[in-house]
Amino acid sequence: MNIESLQHKAREIRRETIRIHGIFPETRIASSLSPVEILVSLYYGGILAFDPERPDWEARDRLIVSKGHGGIALYPILSDVGFFEPALLNTISQQNSMFGSIPDCAVPGIETINGSLGHGLGVAAGIALGLKAKRNPANVFVLVGDGELYEGAVWEAMMFAAHQHLSNLCVIVDNNKISMLDFCENTLDHAPLGKKFDAFGLDVQSADGHDLAQLYPALRALKQRPSSGPKLLIAQTVKGKGVPTLEGDPLCHVRSLSQEDVAKLLEEVV
């Protein structure tokens, strides 16, 4: 697996995510574009251990996308790697489709329901605790939004994870700087995040969230570096990455793209 092939895959998944948004405009596109490179690295870069034939494979690494509304890229990824037939994606937005505007565990390959923010890190910490109790060497990854960090339960989970030395817990913060209605620094400025996580006892690194030459090694290190407790990577991302009209717009969280915008974007190389 080399960086170029990951970059190619990231472009493909970004395209597919935009295409799905075009069919299903209720999906949160800007939130779903910032973690594309993160998810591509995990699934295509040999970081996340998984078996599409056995979604409950006991040795798999568990992934919780706690910022559930930002998980639309999971749909093309999970179908591409074989968790379900790609043709099923055609049912998106139709009645009785298993593909909600916020992904949930009706879809093979998705572990939990994460439409409500602030729960995923605690659930992931519970999974990590359980894995250690079972002497299972698998890891658990959890993807958290920076706006999501406003939820107090996230910090309760961090305190617990640090105290319990949950070294099998790998936290990724999708630091796209914008929450629902504005930049985080204007809503509730929680910088400096790195110092806060460090003070809570986590082993913190930071990397560019879109430059795969930086991000991919950082994610590998997140899983592999030895640690006495939970590890965390702050991925510096751009909300709406790949769509110039979304990037930098404080309201991009709530924006849906028009059919024309989508058609134009799909023609371009994003």
By CB under 8 A, name the binding residues for another protein. Answer: 104-106, 111-113, 115-116, 119, 121-131, 133-134, 136, 152-153, 156-157, 159-160, 164
* Identity of the residue, 17 or 168, whose beta carbon is nearer to another protein in the bound complex: 168
Within 13 Å, how many C-alpha atoms sit on residue 17's CB side?
Answer: 34
Q: Single out the residue of 77, 38, 73, 5 nearest to residue 237, CA to CA.
A: 38
We find the least distance from the C-beta atom of residue 157 to another protein, in angstroms, to be: 6
Q: Which residues contact 235 (CB under 8 A, 6 or more apart)?
A: 35, 37, 38, 172, 173, 174, 175, 206, 207, 208, 209, 215, 218
Q: Single out the residue of 24, 40, 104 nearest to residue 69, CA to CA.
A: 104
Distances, alpha carbon 142 to alpha carbons 21, 91, 161, 173, in Å: 23, 28, 13, 8
Find residue 232's DSSP bridge partners: 171, 204
* Identity of the residue, 152 or 226, whose beta carbon is nearer to another protein in the bound complex: 152
Helices (H), 140-187: 152-163, 184-187
Helix (H, G, I), strand (E, B) or coil at 203: strand
* Identity of the residue, 145 or 240, whose beta carbon is nearer to another protein in the bound complex: 145
* Identity of the residue, 95 or 135, whose beta carbon is nearer to another protein in the bound complex: 135
Peptide linkage before 230 cis (omega within 30 of 0) = no
* Identity of the residue, 157 or 246, whose beta carbon is nearer to another protein in the bound complex: 157
* Identity of the residue, 42 or 117, whose beta carbon is nearer to another protein in the bound complex: 117
We find the least distance from the C-beta atom of residue 140 to another protein, in angstroms, to be: 8
